[in-house]
Structure 1
Amino acid sequence: MSLRRGAGWAALTAAAALLPSCGMVGALGDEDAGAQTATVGVLVPQSGWQQADGEGVVAAVRTAIEERAGDIGGWTVEVVAVDEGEKGDAAAEAVTELADGDAVAVIGGLTTPGVRAAQPILDDEDVLFVSPADVVPAHTLGADPAAPLRPYRSYYRTAVGAEPPAAALARYAVSGLGADTVAVIDGGDPAEVRAFTDAVDAAGGAIVASGADVAAVVAQAKTEGATAVFVAGDPEVAVQVSEQVRTARLEATLLGATAFGGEFAETGPDGAVRAEPAELDATAGIRSGSLAEQTGVALGEFGAAAYDAATAVGTVLARCLPPASSASSARKGCLGELSELDFAGATGEVSFDEYGDRSGGSVRFSVLRDDRWESAAADG
């Protein structure tokens, strides 16, 4: 196998000054004459505040593909960087061009609009798409994490979320439960209250009652027609809230993170939803310094996860390209191979669940039923 960076890389370098000029890796010998070409696209912003993160992603992908793709006889693999746009506005055009060519995989998507624009296009063409940055639940679980339905079978992610569970729960309340009016009870964790409140606002919902007085907040929640009540902080407060909601006959879903520990499961109502942190730490396993030396640039926020994404893709290419007659005919085989991987990556253990999520990498949702917490993903 030979690996080279295509013209798209040179164009990105000139436009965004991401990396030094990249030539072909190794001269093509006689045995490479007539070699077929497969492309790994790297979808990153060329300008704006995420340009530096894009630099780390592209360099990490290049390094990992060089290391892991292996000797694939008869094939030349190109790493081609394309522009996502500052707000994902260029992503659709960029990935359409890749899919119309000999792309077998795309790594990247650093913005939510960019991911959403690329997903259907790449999925229609069976092109593997792996994001090192995305942690939005809807992109892998569908609109309702409590009733998951994978929207795109070609989409995976190696991202490890560092977002507070309360913020992810707020998005779930508004988009998944349709709770556009929410009450918030501060049981002793103001930071959790802020994270939840800010995320509700960002998602287009409204906080109609808030405070530390349980009875007063529940009464106002009923008056305002709140459809969800979030409890922050102390599990004992959560028990009080559950009792008060029952007494007031308030029809609202109880939500919590740290507050839903302890004895809450024994007293809380069926249908209460809990959010817990990712099982993987966002920085777990990163080979500090050495990986940055290998790539030649600062990794940025997503570089290590991009390295893991490209390690996965490179491993898959060594399996799915050799028997294929063309890049396009290899695509479905590549999709099937990725779901089977399990390896020690730069950010920790890398494997994928049935939805394409990084196992243990995202906030986990669970629902209370018959005094037991059940994984929300298990409902699907």
Structure 2
Amino acid sequence: MRRGAGWAALTAVAALLSSCGLVGALGDDDAGAQTATVGVLVPAEGWQQADGEAVLAAVRAAVEERAGDIGGWTVEVVAVDEGEKGEATADAMTQLVDGDAVAVVGGLNTAAVRAAQPILDDEDVLFVSPADVVPEHTLGADPSAPLRPYRSYFRTAVGAEPPAAALARYAVSGLGAEAVAVVDGGDPAEVRAFTEAVDDLGGAVVASGSDVGTVISTARTEGATAVFVAGDPDVAVQVDRQVRSAGLEATLLGATAFGGDFGDDAADGAVRAQPAELDATAGVRSGRLADEIGVALGEFGAAAHDAGTAVGTVLARCLPPASSASSARRGCLGEMSQLDFAGATGEVSFDEYGDRAGGSVRFSVLQEEAWEVAGVEAGS
């Protein structure tokens, strides 16, 4: 496999793909080989630069291991700068898909992911993020009624975010709730996680406290469209009754509070979040992976190695029968959904939405006294 020659400028990706650094890496044995490019979308500078370098190194190592010896093909891994706020990502992705790109790994900020998704999806280019945490990127606008927006998008991120924070993302980003209420049923840590996440996302907690009646009354006055309950399931039952009695049009949200007998007589539509349950695997090597790739893993390095392993495995299957990189793209997407392997972070496979199976916070919705799994949120 031929490696890329460092960072590709956002406005000159195509030129860099044919630069001396890349051409100079082509050996005599590669003469006449077709080329397939894997872009790595990460920031070249700023506060996430070190994470970006770890992602790039991890992807290169993994792709080389799995797709470094495909007869008739040269696989290039090239870095593409997403910028600190995803600026110019769309131009970079357009130039990649106009060339011989078959996959892109990365997207460490939300703006970059959103800019890249539609462009890569339109051209059937596989897109895998080891870092993305936004529910609607895989589940659509409403995780309680999931609809996958981009079939080319997958995530290897491992869930680490508290379910309460995931519910805050759902409330503000999924439901579009600008005002939310919080009932403290005895778990201040959940209250804090939910409240801080709402604030970070630009929402507002307009009512909060342990007195159910007061919180619900204020929530109605202030126009809250979501109510989060922390702690005791008995308190959640009270909240459900008060919400219905007050005629408050709001979605009820909870994590531990929706355990016990809460669902036996509660109104349909309550949304519960539960922590990730990722299966460990034999041979997991994240402990020595940093030594193998030569850099500190950072926050996303292990998941990036799994993303690179997934991409490399897919390329080894879809490139040999293809006549060109572009003609291989659709077959690569088909192979991706079939993967199941022991990765650096645990068992790696994907659900119907492209999320890491078992590696994310799970959402479920109460329907006729039963919890129906609705989707997942990739963890941060």
Aligned to 1:16: none
State the shift of 1:268 in Å: 1.9
Using structure 1 for the length normalisation, give the TM-score: 0.90
Aligned to 1:28: 27
Q: Distance in 1 between matches of 2:106 and 2:305?
A: 11
List runs of 5+ in structure 1 lacking aligned partners: 13-21
State the shift of 1:89 in Å: 0.9
CA contact (8 A) 2:140 2:146 kept: yes
SS in 1 for 2:330: helix
Q: Distance in 2 between matches of 1:283 and 1:248?
A: 49
Inter-CA distance 45–285: structure 2 relative to 1 (3 Å threshold): farther
SS in 1 for 2:39: strand
State the shift of 1:70 in Å: 5.0
CA contact (8 A) 1:45 1:86 kept: yes
Q: 1:326 aligns with which of 299, 311, 324?
A: 324
Aligned to 2:127: 129
State the shift of 1:27 in Å: 7.4
Aligned to 1:307: 305
1:252 and 2:253 equivalent? no
Aligned to 1:48: 46
Aligned to 2:89: 91
Counterpart of 1:334 in structure 2: which amino acid?
Answer: C
State the shift of 1:126 in Å: 1.4
State the shift of 1:178 in Å: 3.5
Inter-CA distance 95–285: structure 2 relative to 1 (3 Å threshold): farther
1:162 and 2:160 equivalent? yes
Alignment RMSD (CA, Å) = 2.4
Per mean C-alpha deviation after superposition, the further-off stretch among 345-354 and 62-71 is 62-71
SS in 1 for 2:360: coil
Q: Deviations over 1:15-50 (max 9, x none)?
A: xxxxxxx989997354x3211111111111000000
Per mean C-alpha deviation after superposition, the further-off stretch among 278-287 and 59-68 is 278-287
Aligned to 1:19: none
Q: Deviations over 1:92-112 (max 9, x none)?
A: 222222112111111111111
CA contact (8 A) 1:185 1:212 kept: yes
Aligned to 1:200: 198
Inter-CA distance 179–23: structure 2 relative to 1 (3 Å threshold): closer
State the shift of 1:263 in Å: 1.0
Q: Distance in 2 between matches of 1:151 and 1:303?
A: 26
Q: Distance in 1 between matches of 2:230 and 2:265?
A: 17
State the shift of 1:8 in Å: 4.5
Aligned to 2:14: none
CA contact (8 A) 2:89 2:115 kept: yes
Q: Distance in 2 between matches of 1:285 and 1:173?
A: 38
CA contact (8 A) 2:169 2:201 kept: yes
Q: Distance in 2 between matches of 1:257 and 1:83?
A: 38
Aligned to 2:77: 79
Identity between Structure 1 and Structure 2 (%)? 80
Aligned to 2:185: 187
Aligned to 1:337: 335
State the shift of 1:251 in Å: 3.1
CA contact (8 A) 1:126 1:154 kept: yes
State the shift of 1:207 in Å: 1.7
Using structure 2 for the length normalisation, give the TM-score: 0.90
State the shift of 1:282 in Å: 11
Inter-CA distance 355–10: structure 2 relative to 1 (3 Å threshold): closer
SS in 2 for 1:340: coil
Aligned to 1:263: 261
State the shift of 1:283 in Å: 12
Q: Deviations over 1:67-100 (max 9, x none)?
A: 1115311111111111010111132222222112
SS in 2 for 1:7: strand
